[in-house]
Amino acid sequence: MIKDFKKRIQKLASQRRPKVLIGLYQGRHSESIAESVRRAQREVADVVVVGQTVDGVESIPAGPDMADIHKKMIEVVMRGDIEGVIRGNVEEHGLLRGLKDAMKLNIPENELRIQNPCVMEDLQGNIFALGPTSTVWGRNNNEKILWTDSAIRLLNWFDYKSPKLGFLTSTRKANYKKEPTDNPDLAWSWKTWESAEYLVDYYTKKGYRAKNYEIHVEHAVADGCDIICVAEGPIGNGIFRGAFFLGGAKMVAGPRLAMSIPYEDTSQSEQDYFVHFPFVVAMINGNLIAKK
């Protein structure tokens, strides 16, 4: 597995201090968030905050309206000296769409949003990419392939050349088409089985180690999978939230790999954004961005 991933991040992040923007919404602000940003300013990057101001850090007020914060963030990104973006605790739809338009990214929104591998560390120190974690995308094979390919690309950037792949379903093999049904929910769960089988075959033919782990994310982790593709995006979102906010797992990275600037996604619910700074700085210093 990719247990030394954080060391590789740190090696790149320690090379120089770029200028990084983060968005903060005053309605979700806390002292722990402010301190995490100040720590990033001390240790990792020259930080620019847009929205809620933070003492000791360059801050650009943008008021309480989310649309105004998005507008100001996009304006600051486009001025040219910002090298990376961390979403922070602002809503993302308006920000991504605005950046997509401002940067003239010729890519459908689903393809932009699906390429977002979430790298986490569990309580045993296992590090792996899990997803899709979108509440909207990641329900069909094309989007799962886009996501898996983006996770492979991310690990390749950090010199992991042969990641092990696990694919999950929302049903067990023993229950797959056990008896005829007119229940659309049960029929959908069968489709997730068929999807996992298709993807295992697809990536095996490309030379990767790949396996269908049914519903068992814990088996995929125990078996040393570096990349775990879930049955659909909302399930991935739930796994991530449960592991991170309730189970003690740690966030390692959450980049949006289709952006033309290093961009680190976050959760609006986080109370400590420090971990995102070393990763986006590593992306900047390693020139790890989408190649046009």
Query: What does the pLDDT profile of the chain (292 residues) look like in tens digits?
Result: 798 999 999 999 999 999 999 999 999 999 999 999 999 999 999 999 999 999 999 999 999 999 999 999 999 999 999 999 999 999 998 999 999 999 999 999 889 999 999 999 999 999 999 999 988 888 899 999 999 999 999 999 999 999 999 999 999 888 878 788 888 888 888 899 999 999 999 999 999 999 999 999 999 999 999 999 999 999 999 999 999 999 999 999 999 999 999 999 999 889 999 999 999 999 999 988 765 4
Boundaries of CATH 3.40.718.10 in the chain?
A: 117-254
Which are the contacts of 48, defined by CB distance < 8 A and separation ≥ 6? 19, 20, 21, 22, 57, 58, 59, 60, 76, 82
Q: Which of 252, 256, 224, 292 is nearest to 115 (CA)?
A: 256
Boundaries of CATH 3.40.50.10950 in the chain?
A: 1-105+259-292
Q: Tell whether the torsion through CA atoms of 77, 258, 211 and 164 is positive or negative.
A: negative
Q: Which of 202, 102, 185 is nearest to 147 (CA)?
A: 202
How is domain 1-105+259-292 classified at the architecture level of CATH? 3-Layer(aba) Sandwich (3.40)
CATH of domain 117-254: 3.40.718.10
Distance, CA of 246 to CA of 121 (rounded, Å): 14
Query: What pLDDT was estimated at residue 290?
Result: 61
